[in-house]
């Protein structure tokens, strides 16, 4: 084995060691990145994958303690249910504290219902129920319009045009449905969004999208007249003017958004839907939250608490995931080239090629044969002599010319040299 062969095998072995070491670390990351990218349009699957990475007993314990400290026993119970569903143990002391906190709710429920009905602000299921009752009866929307009217008349920046628009749309709706209206479920969703706006629980991007949606649904001039003259009207008059301000043909997007919000509320809770609205940045993400709520139910609050916006979209992680996938493809290409080189070297070791010396000897033999062939004469020329018969006559009975006699005199006869030349051992002249 030559030194060149030893170096080649050493480099190949080093390459194999490097590929094996990087592959053991890289391939699991590539597999996870591929699964996450595949689940980008499936929020429940995306949340399941990410919970596997971040949810641990220590994280669950920390989040439960934080929820109890904030007097959010509903979130604490959601985290316990989430941990139980994924096989993570929870401290028995924490379970007991959560159960105690949830048992002392009778007084808080009654107070929250009354507060929601009177002020339209609620963060619990009971408070939101009171708000819904007041809005369906029309009292809540009139209360909000009367509250905002003086601010809007003065041009005060505190005037909330989103609340005014949602109250106008809600006031044009009865407890069941009206022709071209929202319907009861979507009506409930509009009320929930109005509550979230008053509590400052809507994200800024979602607020901007909702503002555009409301402007398309109502006529600004009619709304201004409603705010200006509303104090002198009864409920029926206010409802009629609100109905005139609403554009029924533009309610489709708001209706769909209200339905999604109300479905989230039905699958989780009042605080769950408010938590989702604070994270969503567009109506499309509200639809993704609705899918999460349908999949996780009461544990959705725990999922959103642990994952935050990572449960809804890839975000800045997309570039890192894409780089992982590209690195995996590069590793596969490198491995394929390594296998090709290994196969060539093994084949050459099993079936060695001829040595260069043997090829040189063969080439020398061929060259020698070609030189010998070039030196060997190919054609011989003899002087042409007339052909005569035994009488010395040419064909036709004529006598040979003088040049022919001269030729015979020089010993040249037809068919070869003369007798004198043969006896002397002479040869014909070659050219």
Closest C-alpha among 125, 271, 242, 255 to residue 184: 255
Q: What is the pLDDT of residue 410?
A: 45
CA 242 to CA 252: how far, in whole Å? Answer: 18
State the DSSP code for 412: E
| Helix-helix angle 73-85:270-279, to 10 degrees | 80
pLDDT tens digits, 262-279: 999 889 888 889 899 999
Q: Where does the pLDDT of residue 393 fall: very low under 50, low under 70, confident under 90, or very high at 90 and above?
A: low
Model confidence at 73: pLDDT above 90: no
First to last CA, the chain: 57
Model confidence at 320: pLDDT above 80: no
pLDDT tens digits, 106-116: 666 777 777 77
CA 29 to CA 25: how far, in whole Å? Answer: 7
Alpha helices in 55-171 (DSSP H): 57-69, 73-85, 92-103, 106-119, 125-136, 139-153, 161-171
Q: What percent of the chain has pLDDT over 90?
A: 14
Q: Please state the pTM of the whole predicted model.
A: 0.65
Longest Cα separation, the chain: 163
> Strands 416-417 and 412-413: what pairing?
antiparallel
Helix (H, G, I), strand (E, B) or coil at 278: helix
């Amino acid at each position: 084995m030559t030194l060149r062969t030893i170096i080649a095998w050493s480099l190949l072995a080093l390459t194999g060691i490097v590929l094996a070491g990087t592959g053991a670390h890289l391939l699991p990351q590539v597999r996870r990145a591929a699964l996450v990218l595949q689940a980008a349009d499936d929020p429940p699957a995306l949340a399941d994958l990410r919970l596997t990475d971040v949810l641990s007993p220590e994280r669950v314990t920390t989040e439960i303690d934080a929820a109890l400290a904030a007097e959010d026993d509903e979130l604490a119970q959601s985290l316990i249910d989430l941990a139980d569903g994924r096989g993570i143990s929870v401290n028995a002391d924490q379970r007991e504290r959560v159960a105690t906190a949830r048992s002392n709710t009778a007084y808080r429920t009654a107070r929250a219902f009354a507060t929601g009905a009177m002020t339209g602000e609620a963060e619990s299921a009971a408070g939101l129920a009171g708000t819904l009752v007041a809005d369906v009866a029309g009292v809540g929307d009139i209360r909000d319009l009367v509250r905002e009217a003086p601010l809007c008349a003065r041009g005060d920046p505190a005037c909330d045009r989103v609340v005014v628009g949602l109250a106008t749309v809600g006031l044009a709706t009865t407890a069941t449905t009206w022709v071209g209206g929202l319907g009861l479920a979507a009506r409930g969703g509009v009320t929930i969004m109005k509550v979230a706006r008053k509590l400052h629980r809507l994200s800024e991007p979602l607020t901007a999208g909702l503002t555009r949606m409301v402007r398309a649904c109502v006529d600004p001039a009619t709304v201004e007249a409603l705010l200006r003259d509303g104090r002198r009207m009864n409920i029926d008059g206010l409802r009629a003017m609100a109905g005139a301000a609403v554009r029924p043909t533009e309610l489709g997007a708001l209706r769909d958004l209200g339905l999604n919000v109300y479905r989230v509320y039905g699958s989780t809770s009042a605080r769950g839907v408010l938590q989702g609205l604070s994270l969503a940045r567009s109506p499309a993400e509200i639809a993704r939250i609705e899918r999460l709520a349908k999949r996780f139910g009461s544990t959705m609050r725990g999922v959103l608490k642990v994952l935050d916006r990572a449960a809804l979209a890839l975000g800045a992680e997309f570039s890192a995931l894409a780089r992982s996938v590209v690195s995996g493809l590069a590793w596969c290409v490198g491995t394929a080239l390594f296998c090709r080189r290994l196969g060539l070297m093994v084949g050459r070791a099993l079936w060695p090629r001829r040595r260069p010396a043997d090829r040189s000897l063969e080439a020398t033999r061929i060259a020698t044969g070609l030189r010998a062939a070039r030196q060997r004469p190919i054609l011989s020329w003899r002087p042409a002599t007339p052909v005569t018969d035994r009488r010395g006559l040419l064909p036709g009975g004529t006598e040979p010319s003088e040049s022919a006699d001269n030729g015979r005199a020089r010993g040249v006869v037809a068919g070869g040299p003369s007798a004198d030349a043969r006896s002397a051992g002479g040869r014909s002249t070659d050219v």
